Structure 1
Amino acid sequence: MSSSSPGTTAIYIAAPEPASGKATIALGILHRLTATVAKVGVFRPLTRASGARDYLLELLLEHTTAGLPYEQCVGVTYQYLHADTDTAITDIVAAYHAMAHKCDAVVIVGSDYTDVATPTELSVNARIAVNLGVPVLLAVNAKGRTADQVVSVVGVCLAELSAHHAHTAAVVANRCEPAELAAIREALRIVGPPSYALPEEPLLSAPTVAELERAVDGTAISGEAPLRNREVMDVLVAGMTADHVLERLGEGMAVITPGDRSDVVLAVASAHAAEGFPSLSCIVLNGGFDLHPSIAALVSGLRLRLPIIATTLGTYETASAAAAARGRLTATSQRKIDTALELMDRHVDTADLMTHLAIPIPTVTTPQMFTYGLQQRARSNRKHIVLPEGDDDRILKSAGRLLQRGIAELTILGDEARIRARAAELGVDLGQAKVLDPRTSPLCDHFAEQYAELRKSHGITAELAREIMCDVSYFGTMLVYNSHVDGMVSGAAHTTAHTVRPALEIIRTAPGISTVSSIFLMCLPDRVLAYGDCAIVPNPTPEQLADIAICSARTAAQFGIEPRVAMLSYSTGASGTGADVEKVRRQRSWCAHGSRSCWWRGPSNTTPQSTRGRGRQDA
């Protein structure tokens, strides 16, 4: 990275050919930068003139922190560049510097060969990078190439970049064949700049059901709308008998069959609904045939959420269009985004890469910095977490992301067959998660005995305890109590009371703690604040308020936030009177004596504390 604009560092990602996977690389670098500096932007020097917005720029803008609009992050069109290259580069430089001075770091993504590509396109990218004063990260497509071929391509590209006086900061060989990955990584050691290799990941180029539907000029006739965002991992043309079709089904597959092949349609739909068979992405009915009314009624009776698409194209045309369909890494492709970030985390030492780049020292903590730090701490010390709400799609999707990123080990509570079937429909891989059903788990009886003993003074019998243990919140809490897991995360589908009550009854408070309270971590644009108590003790006594403040400070420190405690009230300093103001004053006095390791202030009005300029005036 280089200081292309005063106070700003930048990197230019360029490729010598299409399908190099620049989006994956750019996303990984952007993610790392947002965890390092406060204001990160993205710039596309070249865009199409079609009027359609650049999907890659829209994806990356979702992950920037500079807050710049789309229009300020683009240079010129390909047509303008081809018509007058020198003037176009001058305009690109002006557009870039206009946005770069508002950022601490900028990721610049070069041309993607989607317009009229020319043999000199890499040279043009080199000229742009030199004029912007930024180094280049070279992305090379290694798909279908041996290690020697990759090194040869890299050598030619480095020579061309050097001929235009561009400095290459790093090389990434992307989409490597798994069998060639180690050899490519070893061969790249001789090329000069720091080099990395990423394996081919089929998911990243897989089309979604919606993209496949457009490719075959189809119409959705049934199915759950959110499942149209699921990736199609393979395509099967069902031209054989139903029994042979069933033998060839695979996870995430789209099955193409004429609409009048009732036997195949019914067999495939039944297989999708049955345990032991793969979860399909969709069924495509080609030929313009409507399902026979009896077959349509049978399929409807299966209550499938599986998308079914109808097209008038013939079998050959449908199969050809489906085979040619390619997916994109877009702003709505959360599974692909997570996969791309995991690829970069696993195969590119971004910390090492950052050492070659001049990154300014941050003076603030953004939400991205905060969450990245938490993720890194979680990865380095993986904990086992129980998620009691396995019947909630949001939990299943989040669980898939946590497992994919290697952040935690997970146990999910609920009916295992239903949870795994629903996860498969959503395209979520829960293969690494344990699923327990409290109603059938061998642990239930033991937990019931323990709970009855703990609560016998409250009239809890063994029979009632067994019934209570079927509640996922209580069962999950008992998993924590017995050290089967390290913690429980709940509350997406249950109230705060339902989530907290089992912990109060079973785990209880730590020694020396007399008040149970809660805090919210509020991620503001330039800092993270802990607010307590906002849920459990809405009207505390002075003694409880002191406990809450000290515990909140300790919790903030556990999350890496320096405890600087402000006691909020409708009064600033000594300007107000009343019972609530006096409560805060007394509490502050006790806190200052009880915890001298924190910085204390209060009573203070909420608005001045939240708005710095106003705060100076009111205080």
Structure 2
Amino acid sequence: MNTSSPMIEQQSLISQNIYITGTDRNSGKSIIMLAIMEMLTGHAGKVGFFRPIIQSGDKLDELIQFIQFRYQLDLPYEAMYGCKSQEASELLATEQYDELHKIILAKYRALKASREHVLCIGSDYRHGDSMFEFDFNAQVANNLDCLMLPVIPGGGLDNLQLLNNLASLKLELHEHDNAVLAVAINGVASTQVETLRAGLNQAGDFPIYVVPAEPSLEKPTLGNIAQALGAKLFSSDNNALGREIHHYKVAAMLVPDFLDYVQAGDLIITPGDRADIILASLLTYHSTNYPQISGLLLTGHQEPAPQVQALIDGLGDLPFAVLGVDTDTFTTAMQVSQIPARLHSQDDRKIAKALGLVENNIDMSELRQRLLAKASHKMTPLMFEYDMLQRAKARKQHIVLPEGTEERILRAAEILLLRDVVRITLLGNEAEIRQKIQALALKLPDVDVIDPMTSELRPLFAQAYYEARKHKNVIYATAFDLMGDVSYFGTLMIHLGFANGMVSGAVHSTQHTIRPAFEIIKTKPGASIVSSIFFMCLEDRVLVYGDCAVNPNPNAEELAAIAISAADTAREFNIEPLVAMLSYSTGDSGKGEAVDKVREAVRIARELRPDLKLEGPMQYDAAVDSGVAKTKLPGSEVAGRATVFIFPDLNTGNNTYKAVQRSSGAIAVGPILQGLNKPVNDLSRGCTVADIVNTVIITAIQAQESDAP
């Protein structure tokens, strides 16, 4: 096993703060902000977010709301901005420039005192208001001692104009004596990107990145419409709010004429009492003769008739939302036409697409190297998640998902492909899977789909299984039948090198998922047992629990093997392994068969791996509480600081991880199987889309490790 992870050198503390600002309106700085925030939460410890000026009024700042919700920042809203625009305008009108900067600086320093890093986002540009010009943001960045990351809007400009704007920016940065992290030219037409990059002079003091335009990011979603208009949701599926609006149509005509104008991606705007238009719109979803609309917006404070609402409620899997507003149709249409595309905290698809776009065009490793200050061994859940995603992207693996018709699997696959993390193959009936993808309005153009029942690989896999299991009296006909099962087919894909790893269990039982792996893939050299661990993501750290899913009552030798495997798995994922072998007593105080088993397992594990910091038996409180540890195991390197917890049996482990998960709000990622020649991982049947995404990423990293020399 390769225990020297390539990510360990990246696990360092970023100390320099960043100030992102557009150089003009419509720079698209929010998608750059999102990618930088992802990087910081993975490498900068406790992160804060700050805006020097926000708009006055009762409406909360959208960027602050977005960041606070997505990254669960435990900060009051008022701590994340300097002042409001009305106060700033009054100070500027009386030429109190220094007073304005002092107010912003005081608020910023108060926030910075509780954060290891702060990401600052410049004020929005407003036409005719000089306070929002670039030089104001440049001065604020200097006063806050931040590295600047200016974003030049690239839309609608040719390369010569963009190069001229870049030259002007460099001059302004020099005049303000700004320290610069990098410059991004954002939203450049795809036909211009390569020639623009070729024309850039990259020999300066900072890198210049070109980010192509992505038309879909410029289209508002139903969620944007709903939020901007304060619309009521008449359909039940919030996932539909992520659908993009390509056009909007006012439907005030008869149904036959209306249908002639329907286009894919339409938002249909119609009075709430037009049951005929509502029903026709709903029927387009089930018809192959008409394109799929993106949503239905009912106007005039008129709710659908009870019978029509019952019809909407009964459809269940409707891929678009039905919204309602109080305003009349004409006013609503005018309002809709003015709503810009914005990132929404619950729009996972658009977020994934934005992150994939920026991360593929801005060298995050280069930016990190420009920010690194000192090493840190801290591993928070956000760091853990960020590290894992970056590792998976660095050497993409091919993961097979046998449950190809399950909605959660399809939604997770979309996020993974939009983030460009892995290659994915879905197993199942192709027509059914493609229909489900269309019905859910997902974008999975590059996903591979294989039907084991009709695949040309089935005879090859059957022969391989027969050869491997004929000593167990398996005949070829039985092997061929088994290859129609998605779990067996997926396992043979891995075994014969058609994929690197498999994730299943959202629908199937644990036994159905892992039994083929036990039969075919088997254990890796030096591993005497297949076991499992959970990554327990607590508020401020990530712990490893094992075995909580596979081995009911391991003996001492098996328990030692589980501990060694868990320690190595922890190290693979940048968690320093401090292994606590748990029991109902600590040290030499207890007697009995159960505690003697743990004591013997400790002896065996130390003999096999003297390099590990491994101690036991110890109780859970001694493992996690430094005060208890000083009393029960004084001088211990592990007690009070344990990161890897080995439970004596499945009953204890499974109940403990669920108790911690439910009582503390911890996120449990797993079970992750260890000891197999190639990675196969099981999901809980109650798993969320996020659980699936995390498990696929971890499986991809395990696949990287299994292929390492």
**TM bracket, shorter-chain basis:** 0.7 to 0.9
Pair 1:551 & 2:565 matched: yes
- Pairing partner for 1:374 from 367, 388, 392: 388
Name the SS of the counterpart of 1:35 in structure 2.
helix
Name the SS of the counterpart of 2:352 in structure 1.
helix
Is the Cα contact below 8 Å between 1:256 and 1:284 reproduced in 2? Answer: yes
- Pairing partner for 2:237 from 213, 219, 224: 224
Letter in structure 2 aligned against 1:142:
G
Is the Cα contact below 8 Å between 1:42 and 1:64 reproduced in 2? Answer: no
Distance 1:370 1:577, change over 3 A: same
Distance 1:292 1:613, change over 3 A: closer
Partners of 1:27 and 1:96 lie apart in 2 by 20
Aligned to 1:578: 592
Aligned to 1:15: 22
Distance 1:307 1:617, change over 3 A: same
Pair 1:136 & 2:148 matched: yes
Is the Cα contact below 8 Å between 2:262 and 2:291 reproduced in 1? Answer: no
Q: Residue by residue, what CA displacement relative to the aligned partner does 1:571-610 show, whole Å, maximum 9, x if unpaired? A: 2222322222211111111111122342322222222322
Residue 613 of structure 1: CA displacement? 4.6
- Pairing partner for 2:371 from 357, 360, 378: 357
572-581 vs 550-559, greater mean Cα deviation: 550-559
Partners of 1:301 and 1:337 lie apart in 2 by 30
Is the Cα contact below 8 Å between 1:13 and 1:110 reproduced in 2? Answer: yes
Is the Cα contact below 8 Å between 1:37 and 1:361 reproduced in 2? Answer: no
Is the Cα contact below 8 Å between 1:78 and 1:115 reproduced in 2? Answer: no
Is the Cα contact below 8 Å between 1:46 and 1:77 reproduced in 2? Answer: yes
In the TM superposition, 1:411-422 aligns within 5 A as 411-422=425-436
Pair 1:43 & 2:50 matched: yes
Q: Residue by residue, what CA displacement relative to the aligned partner does 1:307-340 show, whole Å, maximum 9, x if unpaired? A: 3456787776555443332221132222222122
Pair 1:487 & 2:494 matched: no
514-523 vs 457-466, greater mean Cα deviation: 457-466
Name the SS of the counterpart of 1:580 in structure 2.
helix
Letter in structure 2 aligned against 1:497:
Q
Is the Cα contact below 8 Å between 1:76 and 1:92 reproduced in 2? Answer: yes
Letter in structure 2 aligned against 1:15:
G
User: Structure 1: which 5+ runs fail to align?
Assistant: 1-5
Distance 1:293 1:35, change over 3 A: closer
Letter in structure 1 aligned against 2:242:
N
Is the Cα contact below 8 Å between 2:270 and 2:298 reproduced in 1? Answer: yes
Residue-pair matches, total: 613
Distance 1:279 1:482, change over 3 A: farther
Aligned to 2:661: none
- Pairing partner for 2:579 from 561, 565, 570: 565
Aligned to 2:139: 127
Q: TM-score, normalised on structure 1?
A: 0.85
Aligned to 2:535: 521
Name the SS of the counterpart of 1:356 in structure 2.
helix
Pair 1:207 & 2:257 matched: no
Q: TM-score, normalised on structure 2?
A: 0.76
Residue 542 of structure 1: CA displacement? 1.0
Distance 1:108 1:241, change over 3 A: same
Name the SS of the counterpart of 2:78 in structure 1.
helix
Partners of 2:403 and 2:426 lie apart in 1 by 7
Root-mean-square deviation over aligned CA pairs? 3.8
Is the Cα contact below 8 Å between 1:273 and 1:302 reproduced in 2? Answer: no
Residue 525 of structure 1: CA displacement? 4.8
Distance 1:120 1:18, change over 3 A: closer
Aligned to 1:54: 61
Structure number with the bigger relative contact order (C-alpha 8 A, sep ≥ 6) is 2
Name the SS of the counterpart of 1:596 in structure 2.
coil
Residue 614 of structure 1: CA displacement? 3.9
In the TM superposition, 1:174-193 aligns within 5 A as 174-189=186-201, 193=206
Q: Residue by residue, what CA displacement relative to the aligned partner does 1:67-114 show, whole Å, maximum 9, x if unpaired? A: 444333222111121122432321221121122133332211111136
Aligned to 1:540: 554
Aligned to 1:3: none
- Pairing partner for 2:351 from 320, 323, 337: 337
Distance 1:512 1:29, change over 3 A: closer
Partners of 1:241 and 1:222 lie apart in 2 by 22
153-162 vs 262-271, greater mean Cα deviation: 262-271
- Pairing partner for 1:400 from 414, 418, 430: 414
Residue 148 of structure 1: CA displacement? 2.6
Is the Cα contact below 8 Å between 2:236 and 2:313 reproduced in 1? Answer: no
Is the Cα contact below 8 Å between 2:262 and 2:290 reproduced in 1? Answer: no
Name the SS of the counterpart of 2:191 in structure 1.
helix
Partners of 2:372 and 2:558 lie apart in 1 by 48
Is the Cα contact below 8 Å between 2:219 and 2:245 reproduced in 1? Answer: yes
Pair 1:105 & 2:117 matched: yes
Distance 1:243 1:504, change over 3 A: farther
Is the Cα contact below 8 Å between 2:126 and 2:132 reproduced in 1? Answer: no
Partners of 1:600 and 1:296 lie apart in 2 by 62
Is the Cα contact below 8 Å between 2:125 and 2:132 reproduced in 1? Answer: no
Is the Cα contact below 8 Å between 2:223 and 2:344 reproduced in 1? Answer: no
Q: Residue by residue, what CA displacement relative to the aligned partner does 1:499-544 show, whole Å, maximum 9, x if unpaired? A: 2223223333345544221111223455433221111113221121
Residue 346 of structure 1: CA displacement? 1.1
In the TM superposition, 1:232-271 aligns within 5 A as 232-235=245-248, 249-250=263-264, 252-255=265-268, 269-271=282-284
Is the Cα contact below 8 Å between 1:246 and 1:268 reproduced in 2? Answer: no
- Pairing partner for 1:502 from 502, 511, 516: 516
Letter in structure 1 aligned against 2:105:
V
Residue 240 of structure 1: CA displacement? 11
Distance 1:253 1:476, change over 3 A: farther
Partners of 1:205 and 1:582 lie apart in 2 by 64
Distance 1:103 1:309, change over 3 A: closer
504-513 vs 30-39, greater mean Cα deviation: 504-513
494-503 vs 579-588, greater mean Cα deviation: 494-503
- Pairing partner for 1:28 from 31, 35, 38: 35
Distance 1:277 1:187, change over 3 A: farther
- Pairing partner for 2:341 from 306, 327, 331: 327
Name the SS of the counterpart of 2:43 in structure 1.
coil
Aligned to 2:688: none
Letter in structure 2 aligned against 1:108:
C
Distance 1:512 1:278, change over 3 A: farther
Partners of 1:259 and 1:416 lie apart in 2 by 38
- Pairing partner for 2:164 from 127, 137, 152: 152
Aligned to 1:280: 293
Residue 199 of structure 1: CA displacement? 1.6
Partners of 1:592 and 1:373 lie apart in 2 by 30
Is the Cα contact below 8 Å between 1:158 and 1:168 reproduced in 2? Answer: no
Q: Residue by residue, what CA displacement relative to the aligned partner does 1:441-474 show, whole Å, maximum 9, x if unpaired? A: 4444654565567666777677766665444333
Distance 1:607 1:246, change over 3 A: farther
Q: Residue by residue, what CA displacement relative to the aligned partner does 1:261-314 show, whole Å, maximum 9, x if unpaired? A: 999877765553345975432245679999999999999998761334567877
Aligned to 1:90: 102
Aligned to 2:492: 478
Q: Residue by residue, what CA displacement relative to the aligned partner does 1:238-278 show, whole Å, maximum 9, x if unpaired? A: 7899699679733x443457889999877765553345975
Name the SS of the counterpart of 2:17 in structure 1.
strand
Partners of 1:310 and 1:62 lie apart in 2 by 25
Partners of 2:627 and 2:73 lie apart in 1 by 21
Partners of 2:542 and 2:146 lie apart in 1 by 32
Is the Cα contact below 8 Å between 1:209 and 1:230 reproduced in 2? Answer: yes
Partners of 2:219 and 2:417 lie apart in 1 by 21
Letter in structure 2 aligned against 1:127:
Q
Partners of 1:453 and 1:246 lie apart in 2 by 60
Q: Residue by residue, what CA displacement relative to the aligned partner does 1:171-190 show, whole Å, maximum 9, x if unpaired? A: 21212222333344345538
**Overall identity of the aligned pairs, in %:** 37
Partners of 1:297 and 1:367 lie apart in 2 by 43
Name the SS of the counterpart of 1:583 in structure 2.
helix
Distance 1:261 1:55, change over 3 A: closer
Aligned to 2:689: none
